Amino acid sequence: MTVETTYRRHDRPLWRRLLLRPEAILIFAIILIVVLSIIGIPNYLRPNPGYTFTTLLLNAVPILILLLPLTLIIATGEIDISVGSILGLSSASFGLLFEAGVPLPLAAVLSVIIGGLIGAVNGFLVTIVGLPSLAVTIGMLALVRGIAVGILGTTSVTSFPPEVTSFVRSSIPGTPVPWLIVVFVVLAIVFGVLLHFTAFGRGVFAIGLSSETAAFSGVNVNRTKFILFVLSGLTAALVGVLFTLQYSNAIGSNGNGFELRAITAIVLGGVSIWGGTGTLLGAIVGGLFIATVNKSLQVLGIGDDAIYVITGSALIVSVVIASVASVISTRRRVTTSAT
């Protein structure tokens, strides 16, 4: 006779699972920074010239969209650091095509397709050829940026129809929420569902946890990675088009360094840089955290160089924290399993 048991779903109590996760900690941190800024920085709420909640969101949105597919790539244990350059090339080609008389929507679609093709080359080199994604996308970061700056030279295209550019910058009537946020929310839902609520997403995490186990479980590891690199390229190029319209400025240097901010946001948000764990929500909250910190720094009048220093430090610190946490939990495992 065997005793019928039904297992508990979770080992740890609800409050620990909810409050001790990186997402929760980051939300506390965001609230803390906002409160401290309100108290400590004069004009934080009414800065000159008009740095509003809407501006904060508009500034954050390119990174927030970029990090969506990138989170899935990192969850498989790979990385794509060419996204900033793909953004730049998309911006440049969009401007060039538009200037050459191609209708605006067609120019946009073609630019996004170019981004997808670059993503496909990344995916091909990583999966079929079997090169490390870090090396491949570093190469692509330089190569694509070179092309982006090269095709437009030192000029930039700014002659986009004002009605289009002002619409891209506008907010949903009666709210401070820009339309671009709607684009982000839609994409976030798509990628969030894909990662957390589909068999494909289960495969993504399985690859990050152990690609051999994933392969033995019927996950097509190469196909999954290839799809993700293509999605990353497409998305980065889409951001390039939107970014160009948002600032009415097509130039090859657009999106410079965005990959660093996106990766920082993702890792801060608790997605393991080794793959296998994390949530898309965490990555998004990470992006909002960086935007909040940036806003405070900008209102304080601290320049971009300091922001780079802070972003870089945040990336390293979050990786250190994650690995320290994993060492601690391994130790705990060893002691508990010994008893």
Partner 1 sequence: MSHLLELHGVTKTFGAVAALAGADLVLDAGSIHALVGENGAGKSTLVKIIGGLHGRDGGEFLLDGEAVDFKSTADAKHHGIAVIYQEPTLFPDLTVAENIFVGRQPYTRLGFVNRAEMRRATLELTSRLGVVIDPDREARGLSIADQQIIEIAKAISLNAKVVIMDEPTAALSGIEVERLMGIARQLRDEGKGIIFISHRFDEVFELCDTITVMRDGQYIATNAIADVTVDEIIKQMVGRSVENLFPKQEATIGEVVLDVAHLTRAGVFEDVSFQVRAGEIVCLAGLVGAGRSEIARAVFGVDKYESGTVTLDGATVPRHKPSAAMELGMGFVPEDRRKQGLAMTAGVQTNITLAIRNQVAKAGFITSKLEQGPADLWARRLQVKTRALDTHAVMLSGGNQQKVVLAKWLATNPKLLIIDEPTRGIDVGTKSEVHRLISELAGTGVAVLMISSELPEVLGMADRVLVVREGRLTGNLSRADATAETVMYAATHAANEEVAK
Quick check: 5 binds partner 1 (CB under 8 A)?
Answer: yes
d(CA 294, CA 303): 10
Q: Which range in 6-14, 79-87, 243-251, 288-296 contacts partner 1 by CB under 8 A?
A: 6-14
170 residue type, one letter: S
Query: Is residue 217 within 8 Å of 199, Cβ to Cβ?
Result: no
Provide the terminal-to-terminal Cα distance of the chain, rounded to the nearest Å: 28
Beta carbon of residue 336, minimum distance to partner 1 (angstroms, whole number): 7
User: Which C-beta is closer to partner 1: that of 173 or that of 218?
Assistant: 218
CB of 317 to partner 1, least distance (A): 22
335 lies in the binding site for partner 1 (CB under 8 A)? no
Site for partner 1, residues 218 to 247, rule: CB under 8 A? 218-220
Provide, rounded to whole angstroms, the least separation between the CB of residue 191 and partner 1.
Answer: 14
Asked if 197 is part of the footprint of partner 1 (rule: CB under 8 A), the reply reads yes
Rule CB under 8 A: say whether 195 interacts with partner 1.
no
Q: How far is the CB of 277 from partner 1 (least distance, A)?
A: 7
What are the distances in angstroms from CA 48 to CA 26, 44, 45, 53, 58? 28, 9, 10, 13, 17
| Alpha carbon distance 226, 210 (integer Å) | 17
- Contact code string over 9-38 relative to partner 1, x by CB under 8 A: xxx---------------------------
Which tokens hold the place of 44?
A: 């934080």
Answer positive or negative: Cα dihedral of 246, 250, 256, 262: positive
Is residue 216 within the footprint of partner 1 (CB under 8 A)? yes
Restricted to residues 273-332, the positions that interact with partner 1 (CB under 8 A) are 276-277
- Nearest of 161, 186, 131, 168 to residue 54 by alpha carbon: 168
Structural contact between residues 121 and 140, judged by C-beta atoms closer than 8 angstroms: yes
**Is residue 4 near partner 1 by the rule CB under 8 A?**
yes
Phi, psi (rounded to 5 degrees) for 229: -65, -40
- Binding residues for partner 1 restricted to 68-107, rule: CB under 8 A: none
Contacts of 72 (CB under 8 A, 6+ apart): 191, 194, 195, 201, 204, 228, 231, 280
Binding-site member from 175, 335, 337, 339 for partner 1 (CB under 8 A): 337
Q: Rank residues 203 and 287 by Cβ distance to partner 1 and give the closer one.
A: 203
Taking CB under 8 A as the binding criterion, the range among 66-74, 142-150, 204-212, 285-293 that sits at the site for partner 1 is 204-212
Question: What SS3 class is residue 273?
Answer: coil
**Of 27, 30, 34, 215, which lies in the binding site for partner 1, with binding defined by CB under 8 A?**
215
| Interface ranges with partner 1 (CB under 8 A) | 2, 4-11, 193, 197-199, 201-203, 205-206, 209-210, 212-220, 276-277, 333, 336-337
